[in-house]
Amino acid sequence: MRLSLKRTVFLIFILIFLSISILLLQSSTKLRQRWDLIWDTEIFDLDAYKVHNLQNRRDFHYTNYLYSGYNNFTKAFTGDLDRIKQTPLKDKCNVYFNQFLQHDPEWKLTTRNSPVDRFDKSSDKKQSFFKEQQRKLEDKFNKEHRGSDEKFVVTREDNKTISEQFNKNVAKSKAIMHEMADVTTSLRVYGKCFIGQELDEGQKTTFNDLSNRFFPFLTNKLPLFKVQGEDRSTGWPVLKEDGSTEYKTDLDGDNYIEFLYKHSRGKGIVISAATRHAKDIMKLVKILRALNNELPIQIMHKGDITKRSLEWIESAATVDVEELLNPSLDPNDESYMPELKLLESYKDYGSYFPKQKLQFVNIANCISKQYKYHFPGYSNKILAVFFSTFDDVLLLDADTVPLVSPKEFFESQEYQRSGTYYFQDRSLRDTNDFIETNFFTTLFPANEKSIDTLFDIPRITEKTLNNKYMTGWRHYQEAGVVAFNKRQHYVGLLMMFPLSLWTEPVQSSIWGDKELYWLALSAAGDENYEFNPVAGASIGEKTVLQNRKFYPNSPSNEVCSTHPGHVNKDGKLLWINSGFGYCKKNGSFRDRVKFPLSTFNKDELHQLFNSPLQIRAAIVPPDLPRFREPGNPINGEPEEQFRKTWKFRNKDIDEINENLPYGAQRTEFITEWGPQKGWVKNSICFGYYYCAYDKVQSYSSEKEFDEGKLYEFDEDSVKRYNYLSKVWNSAGLKKPGTSKSN
C-alpha cells in the first residue's frame, strides 16, 4: 500500500509524539537536570559564592520584613494609615485578631525543634555549605569504593544538586525567619491589646483563646509552695478585698497570663534549682544571712530536687548562728585564715545572720507533659521568674556570690529608673555574624512601615542597635544577677518564651540565657532596660612577682582568675560569679606543671587550690572597637578586613602555642611584647581561667595602648571579702539525715 504524503506526515508526527511521551515518562528530574546542564551558566567559585552571599544578605535584611497580614489589616481601613492611628485601640485589636484567627484557625506557637523545620545559619555562607556537602559526597564515595584506586571527583551535576539544596535551605530559612517575626509582632500587639487593659466579655474570650495559643505549654495548675518547717504545701497567695489571703492551687478558669500579672507582688530573691545545685545554694544562703538579707527567697524547681537537699538548704536558712558557724562542725576551719573566728567576730562585720524567709516552689505541674523537655538548663530561669510570686525579682544563679545587701540592687539608680538592672559580660574578642544580629533585628519592631507603628508600639533605637552584641561581639550580658520588675516589663517576659522554645538560630547565637533579657525586651518594643556601665572584671589578686607574669616586661597590670566580677560606677564590687573557690573543681595535680603554677612550691599550690578566692583587686580591660557597624550592613568586607588585622598583631599566650610541631617547646610567657587582648584564656582550672589586662596594644594607629581600669580594694574591703569567703567556705552545718527523693 502506497502512503500518501499526508499519511506520511501524520505517521512522522505520531512517532515524534510517542518519542516525546516516552522521554517524559522517564525520570522528570533527570530530564530537567540534563536540560539545565545544556543551558547552565552557573559558576562555582569563590567569587560567585560571594556574589550570591551578598544577594542573600540583601534579601534577608530586616528592612525587607513586613508583617504578612499588614496589607489585609490596612485594607480593612481602606488603606488610610492616619485613620488607623486614630481608631480606638479596642477596634483595631478586634480587626487584627479576627484576621489573625481567620487566617490560621489552628495556629499555636510551635517550638521548631525538628531538624527539618529549623532556620539554617549558613544562608550567607555558600562556600562553607558546598564544602560540607562535597565532603559528605566524598565520604559516601570512599565507603562505596573501599579498596579501589578510583578517585573521587566532584562533577558539575553534583554541584548543581548542592546548589539546588542550598537555594531550598535559603528560601526555607527566610520563610521561617519571617514566620517567627510574625509571631513576635503578634505577641507585641497581644500585649498592647490585652495586658493591663480593661476588657469587655468579647475581648476576654479572645484574650483567653490567644493566651492558650501563644503559651500552649501552660496547664491550669498553679505552683505549689512548701511551707517552711513542714512537709505540706500550699497554693498561690491571693490577697482578697477583706484583707485575708486565699491560697489557690489551680486557676478555676482564670487566664494564666492575667492571673500572674495581677497577683505578683512584693520584692524577693528567686533561684532556679535542681539537686546538683544544692551545695552551691546552701553556700549562697549563708552569704545572704551574713549580708543580713531580709528579702524573702523562692527556690524554684520542677520536682527534680531531693527531699534531703531541701532539708539541707532549709537548715542553712534557719538554724541558729551558733550552729551555722560552729567551728567544731567545720573540718576546714583551721586550714583557712585560722585567726578569723567566725563565731566570735561575725558581729564585728555588721552581720547578725537573720533567719531567711525561704520557700521551695514546685512548678512541675504548671508545664504540660508534652513540653516537659522543652525548657532545659538555663531556660528554667525564665520559668522561675515567671512563676515566682514577686513583682520585683532578683534572679540569682546558684553559684553567684553577692557582696552587698541584695536590696542594693533594687535601690540602684539603674533599677529605680528602669525597673531592670543588668550586668555586662567580659569583653571577649569573640564575634557573632550578620545572620545572627539580622535575625534578632527582624524580630524587633525596627521598621517604620510596620504594624507596630499603627498600634503605637515604639520602634527600637540606636540604644539597642548600637550595643556590643548588635555591633558584632558575642558576649554582652552576664546573667548571674538579674533585677527585673515583672509588671513593668511583662510583655518582655512573655517574649522570652518563644525565644527560649525556638531551637535555631536562637540557641546557637547566644550563650545560655545570657542575652535573653535585653533581647526579649527589645523584641517587645521595650528599651527601658539599663546595664551597669562598667563591663565585667577579673577578680582576684594582682600578679606582683615578675617570674609569675605572662608578660613580665609589659606595663599592663594582670589579674588572673576563674571569677568574673562586677564593679559599679563608684568602684564598688557588687558580686562575683562561680562561687568563692579558687577553682570550681580541684585540678591541682593536672595543673601543677602549667605556668605560672609550675613556679609554686608544693605547699603553696596546696594552699592555693584548697582556699577560697583572695579578693584584692579587679581589672576591667578596655572595651573593643565595633566589629560591625550598626544597622547590619550587607557588605561584610569591613568586618573581614578588621579580622585580618588581628593576624598582623603579635600573638597572645593563648595563641602562640597553637598547632605546635611535635616535640616543639611551649612558650610559657612572653617577654618581647605585651598583651594583645584584654582577656587571655588559659587551660588552668579546666579552661575557666582567664587573665585580664588593663593595657593592651591599641587597635588604633593613633595611640600605643587601649586602656581599661585597675581597681585595688582598701584594707577594710579586703577584710570583709575574706570574712565572706570564710562564711561561704565554712562547713559548720549538720547535714540532714538521708531521705528519699521527691
Q: Are 215 and 186 contacting, i.e. CB atoms less than 8 angstroms apart?
A: no
Place 611 in a pLDDT band, splitting at 50, 70 and 90: confident
Q: Is 222 exposed, middle or buried (0-12, 13-18, 19+ CB in 10 A)?
A: buried
pLDDT digits (tens, 9 = 90+) for 452-470: 999 999 999 999 999 999 9
- Higher-confidence position of 504 and 415: 415
3-state secondary structure 459-483: CCCHHHHCCCCCCCECCCEEEEEEE
Strands 267-272 and 297-301: parallel
Res 292: pLDDT: 98
Residue 35, pLDDT above cutoff 90: no
Beta-bridge partners for 431:
473
* Mean local confidence (pLDDT), 197-220: 97
- E strand segments, 520-645: 537-540, 558-561, 564-567, 573-576, 617-620
Q: Are 229 and 319 contacting, i.e. CB atoms less than 8 angstroms apart?
A: no
pLDDT digits (tens, 9 = 90+) for 45-96: 999 999 999 999 999 999 999 999 999 999 999 999 999 999 999 999 999 9
Q: Are 191 and 96 contacting, i.e. CB atoms less than 8 angstroms apart?
A: no
pLDDT digits (tens, 9 = 90+) for 290-311: 999 999 999 999 999 999 999 9
Q: Looking at 197-206, 248-257, 601-610, which range is the least confident one?
A: 601-610
Cα separations (Å) of 625 from 157, 215, 228, 514? 45, 40, 51, 21
Residue 228, pLDDT above cutoff 90: no
Read off φ and ψ for residue 394, nearest 5 degrees.
-110, 100
Distance, CA of 271 to CA of 396 (rounded, Å): 5
> Could you tell me the residue ranges of all domains in the chain?
46-208, 217-398, 538-729
Rounded to the nearest angstrom, the gap between the alpha carbon of residue 25 and the centroid of all alpha carbons in its chain is 53
This prediction's pTM: 0.92
pLDDT digits (tens, 9 = 90+) for 128-152: 999 999 999 999 999 988 888 889 9
Sign (positive/negative) of CA torsion 163, 164, 167, 169?
negative
Res 741: pLDDT: 38
Res 494: pLDDT: 99
Res 589: pLDDT: 87
Beta-bridge partners for 679:
692
- E strand segments, 165-266: 224-226, 233-234, 236-239, 245-248
Kindly give, in sequence order, each residue whose CB lies less than 8 Å from that of residue 389, ignoring residues fewer than 6 positions away.
Answer: 236, 237, 263, 264, 265, 266, 268, 298
Kindly give, in sequence order, each residue whose CB lies less than 8 Å from that of residue 152, ignoring residues fewer than 6 positions away.
Answer: 137, 138, 141, 142, 145
Res 739: pLDDT: 40
Res 455: pLDDT: 98
Res 30: pLDDT: 58
pLDDT digits (tens, 9 = 90+) for 536-578: 999 999 999 999 999 999 999 999 999 999 999 999 999 999 9
* Mean local confidence (pLDDT), 409-416: 98
pLDDT digits (tens, 9 = 90+) for 348-392: 999 999 999 999 999 999 999 999 889 988 899 999 999 999 999
Q: Is the peptide bond before 505 cis (omega within 30 degrees of 0)?
A: yes
How many CB atoms within 10 Å of residue 249?
Answer: 15
Q: Are 295 and 394 contacting, i.e. CB atoms less than 8 angstroms apart?
A: yes
Cα separations (Å) of 26 from 17, 29, 652? 15, 9, 62
Read off φ and ψ for residue 4, nearest 5 degrees.
-75, 165
Res 736: pLDDT: 60
Place 33 in a pLDDT band, splitting at 50, 70 and 90: low
Give every strand in the sheet of 564-567, ordered side by side: 401-402, 573-576, 564-567, 537-540, 617-620, 709-712
Q: Which amino acid is at 451?
A: I
* Mean local confidence (pLDDT), 197-213: 97
Res 448: pLDDT: 95
Residue listed under C-alpha cell 548571674: 480
Place 39 in a pLDDT band, splitting at 50, 70 and 90: low
pLDDT digits (tens, 9 = 90+) for 691-722: 999 999 999 989 999 999 999 999 999 999 99
Res 118: pLDDT: 86
